[in-house]
A and B are shown apart, each in its own frame.
Chain A
Amino acid sequence: MPAVSKGDGMRGLAVFISDIRNCKSKEAEIKRINKELANIRSKFKGDKALDGYSKKKYVCKLLFIFLLGHDIDFGHMEAVNLLSSNKYTEKQIGYLFISVLVNSNSDLIRLINNAIKNDLSSRNPTYMNLALHCIANVGSREMAEAFASEVPRILVAGDTMDSVKQSAALCLLRLNRTCPDLVPMGEWTSRVVHLLNDQHLGVVTAATSLISTLAQKNPDDFKTSVSLAVARLSRIVTSASTDLQDYTYYFVAAPWLSVKLLRLLQCYPPPEDGAIRGRLTECLETILNKAQEPPKSKKVQHSNAKNAVLFEAISLIIHHDSEPTLLVRACNQLGQFLQHRETNLRYLALESMCTLASSEFSHEAVKTHIETVINSLKTERDVSVRQRAVDLLYAMCDRSNAKQIVTEMLSYLETADYSIREEIVLKVAILAEKYAVDYTWYVDTILNLIRIAGDYVSEEVWYRVIQIVINRDDVQGYAAKTVFEALQAPACHENLVKVGGYILGEFGNLIAGDPRSSPLVQFHLLHSKFHLCSVPTRALLLSAYVKFINLFPEVKGTIQEVLRSDSQLRNADVELQQRAVEYLRLSCIATTDILATVLEEMPPFPERESSILAKLKKKKGSGTVSDIEDSRKERNVNANANVNGSSDHTITNTSAKPPPSFACDLLATAPPPTNRPRPIPSSSMLHTPLTPLSPKAYTPQPVTPTVPFYQVTSSPSSDLLGLGNSSAVNSASPPTSSHAASLLVDVFSESLPVAALGSASAHVIEENFSRFVCKNNGVLFESQLLQIGLKSEFRQNLGRMYIFYGNKTSTQFLNFSSSVVCPEPLSSQLNIHMKAADPVLDGGAQLQQILNIECISDFVEAPVLNIQFRYGGSTQNISVRLPVTLNKFFQPTEMTSQDFFQRWKQLSAPQQEVQKIFKAKHSMDTEITKAKIIGFGTALLDGVDPNPSNFVGAGVIHTKTIQVGCLLRLEPNTQAQMYRLTLRTSRESVTQRLSNLLSDQF
């Protein structure tokens, strides 16, 4: 009977397909297709009604044309007509066309849904299956809406045929995946769970798929499935290979169902019930035992099916992570597979072992296979297997084997497939850092990485090595020496030039004693690479040169000569030109003291999670590998974890929390680096920081309005040096031109009185500032790009402000950083701590930053929030006045009329009172006025003033050093639209400030 029905039913279709196949060229094919499309179109449009057969044939031709990769824009209606045909084959073709071709054309969907509805209620299982398939194939929201309640009903109805149940279960699963909200759990859930007991293994298989997916989302609703699944699994595992008839696949009993049951069990922790747990353990042991038995067939299908079950069982064992014996057995089994002659099994064993390596019980067992894994890295012919080997080495790495693994990965890198080089580079960089026992090894490793695979070394990697060298003074001399040697190579990678330039610029002095690496030699070495490098690298090198001028006065002349050359001063690139001009000028004009301060050694970077790890995660999706890494507990508790204290990089920076620093590091005013206190490098006398300049005399006034300030910036972060932007520039130098300019201007204008520089704060935006005097939440700033919202709360002399940055564009903001600046004398009156913000603000996303505020004493000015980020290639700077005002530290005080007037009299000295008469700016609504006074922070005292239309308030300002009581009286004159505001406090400055703040509000 297949012979009858082999599609020879549609001769026209077969003829058309042969025609297409006989076409000699693409053009001929298109010509033939267009001819056919014209023919079909005319038939469909023709007056003569087409019979079902012709319709079916033409729809089928359209389908064929579509599957060849051509667009089809008609025929949908005819296909829908076929759905309601009572001839099965016509209906079937109609459904096929809809399944393959329908997009969410809603008009059509309504018609289709009608046809489906009819077929679902036809009680003809064949038709019902067609309809359910169509729902599952299209699976659009409209369909889910129409059938989400109908399908579960069919699934659990007592009289539904088995084959329909199977379709209904999977159809429901499909709807649940697209529109989980439309498929509510209902009373049918428990009946679905009981399908696990069904006689028909096909039904059980389909139901298990459904339950696994639902259980992942609602584990509690399907808890009862665990015991049923274990029972079912146990029956399958112990059955003889022929018991299950056609559900035995190449002598393996129901492999699909077994795998699905094992998968379902992975939605849950090990069963609590001892009996069930025991039974499950037995099942797993049986599966492991079977792996050791001789195969019942030589066919690959047999071993595949058997091993599929075995791998799924191992996944469950790893998931439970509770039975050490099973875990070790699993590991041994995988160990055998590592050397299996089937490539597939080697691949899967490597992959599985990766997860096994994260288990505490089996990590050591996995490690015993290190030689085999390294061997597969070297000998495996298939790149995808080698990649799994890299993953496994990464996962099994710990302090005891890090050196071996890193060495092997490095040597593999030389010949590695290009597609996986970057990933290997990241992995090596992470392992080298994480398990570095001494940092000379770390530096060597990274330099090797750059040498071997420089093109694949991303910025994160080389930023990180610099960050670590800067933060660890025990490795600086070694690093300088090593990069110096590495740079000797006639051809070295640009990344090496960058690292070399940076490190020699900072620490070249540490090796300058050796005549072979004298300052001049170092300079010539760097400069020999200059002309081969890209603009960002050249920019970095220029900064290194100017740092050399500071480190080695004897080469000043040589370097000035270079800077002065036309190729620098007149460089076509504006960044390079500007640097050359400014550095040259700086070196000519500034005294050695100023030079030394401007070009001081970089302060240590704050410790943070390696951004390389983040990058690897990103690269791998939510990559399994790095998660393992994170979750793995450090097992080698006593295994030399502390052999060398320096292996823990947090040590240097335990003092990282910066106290207010007035030792103005000029460089700190350039945005990316932050003003951090620096530990005095003990290793080098040359680097004893120069005496800080008197802040009064030399405080630079760049775009940020003030210094001395105490600023706890969120550093631009994960890009380590704040160089994330394309024109990546050394942060040791002023990074962007505008800042560079302002910095240098300040150096030149050192004698300018400080007051004259106050105008720098003119750019601060404060248009919304006064809105926040009487309230704590709202939008502070909004532009095309960015919205800043505030939420704050204050109690006594403490406050907390949540700043929300909303990216209004669809593009990422990079190098996002913010800092709060308190101009003198505010810096001694307010303490503000800010947690660092994430450096990347995704398009449409919001970022929250928390500000902790402490009021030390009363104050007048408000702090300024400086924000910087890169958007579309340019750096955006925004400065907004933050509404931290004195009245925020009010505590309301309730008092009687008598008390009020007694205190009022006590504060009668002229300097204690401020009175203002002003015109109302807003309508003089009593309720609003009351709300404003309460919002201002004082208590609103009722019945105190003899005139009921007057408002009286009292409160105490809390600061750390003093408390200031405050009384206020507001007298409205509605006729004149005027107010008179009288404030009395014990402190003149407070009275004045509060009066100014409040009078603005009415």
Chain B
Amino acid sequence: MMRFLLLFSRQGKLRLQKWFLPMTEREKKKIIRDMTTMVLARKPRTCNFLHWRDLKIVYKRYASLYFCCGLEDQDNELLALEVLHRYVELLDKYFGSVCELDIIFNFEKAYFILDEFLMGGEIQETSKQSIAKSIEASDMLQETMEEYMSKPAF
């Protein structure tokens, strides 16, 4: 299973963190620090895999964002790369040419999409259509925009 998924920028700013096993805040901070320093220090065109403690780290850079996940020993690294890619595709489909700003301003959406795709560190649904459909369905449940706009900002 995947233990965690992190999205961080080239400057090391964390954009999204998902932990699939309970962990103390201290541990999380340690992992975030180790991952950002390790991955950001990698030279271009090196391989996408690393060993860290007892985990396999798989990372990939998309534009200004690094997607980085920690896998257990028996997990398949290549497929994890495609998990990352599929997640990017899903974000892209939802936001339309997704960029880092989309994820910053709509972080809750990024989490919701991830939840449709992964659960407990395992793939829940791989079909892009199914995921898109269920996100669409939950968006339909939202109040209309006008309804929101009439509410005060603060």
Contact = CB atoms under 8 A, between A and B. Distances in A.
A534 B37 CA distance: 35
A425 to B, nearest CB: 18
Contacts of B48: 344
A7 B105 contact: yes
A707 to B, nearest CB: 49
Contacts of A7: 105-106, 108-109
7 contacts: A7-B106, A9-B145, A88-B138, A92-B112, A166-B124, A255-B82, A384-B51
B101 to A, nearest CB: 9
Given A9-B148, A89-B142, A133-B119, A67 B14 contact: yes
Given A246-B129, A344-B49, A348-B78, A170 B122 contact: yes
Contact of A311 (B17, B50, B76): B76
Contacts of A15: 153
A209 B20 CA distance: 15
Contacts of A8: 145, 148
Interface stretch (A302-310, A896-904, A905-913): A302-310
Interface string A3-23: 111111111101101000100
A174 interface: yes
Contacts of B112: 92, 96
Interface in B101-154: 102, 104-109, 111-112, 115, 119-130, 134, 136-145, 148-149, 151-154
Contact of A10 (B29, B74, B137, B148): B148
B63 interface: no
A259 interface: yes
Interface in A6-45: 6-12, 14-15, 17, 21, 39
A304 B138 contact: no
B130 A308 contact: no
B76 to A, nearest CB: 5
A355 to B, nearest CB: 11
Interface residues of A, number: 83
Given A89-B141, A163-B134, A348-B78, A64 B43 contact: no
Summarize A's interface: helix, strand, loop or mixed: helix
Interface string B51-77: 101100000000000000000001011
A773 B17 CA distance: 64
Contact of A256 (B79, B102, B136, B153): B79
B81 A304 contact: yes
A126 B141 contact: yes
B71 to A, nearest CB: 12
A254 B51 CA distance: 27
Contact of A140 (B16, B22, B50, B128): B22
Chain A CB within 10 A, most for which of B21, B49, B124: B124
Contacts, number: 202
Interface string A164-205: 001100110110011000000000000000000000011001
A69 interface: yes
A312 interface: yes
Given A6-B95, A301-B85, A348-B77, A93 B108 contact: yes
B45 interface: yes
B136 to A, nearest CB: 7
Contacts of A54: 151
B119 A2 contact: no
Given A209-B123, A304-B81, A308-B76, A17 B139 contact: no
A308 B79 contact: yes
Interface in A520-579: none
A53 interface: yes
Nearest to B154: A12
A382 B139 contact: no
Contact of B105 (A17, A39, A63, A260): A17
A174 B119 contact: yes
Interface in A872-905: none
A178 B96 CA distance: 38
B40 to A, nearest CB: 15
Nearest to A299: B85
Given A202-B127, A256-B126, A64 B78 contact: no
A88 B82 contact: no
Nearest to B94: A2
A2 B50 contact: no
A54 B143 CA distance: 14
Task: Give 3 nearest A-B pairs by CB, closest first.
Answer: A174-B120, A88-B141, A308-B78
A922 interface: no
Contacts of B50: 384
A201 B125 CA distance: 9
Nearest to A3: B96
B138 A126 contact: yes
A69 B14 contact: yes
Given A67-B107, A96-B112, A347-B47, A166 B82 contact: no
Contacts of A308: 76-79, 82
B119 A171 contact: yes
A169 to B, nearest CB: 9
A385 interface: yes
B153 A259 contact: no
B143 A2 contact: no
A259 B79 contact: yes
B46 interface: yes
A170 to B, nearest CB: 4
A1000 B78 CA distance: 75
A253 B128 CA distance: 14
A153 interface: no
Contacts of B144: 4
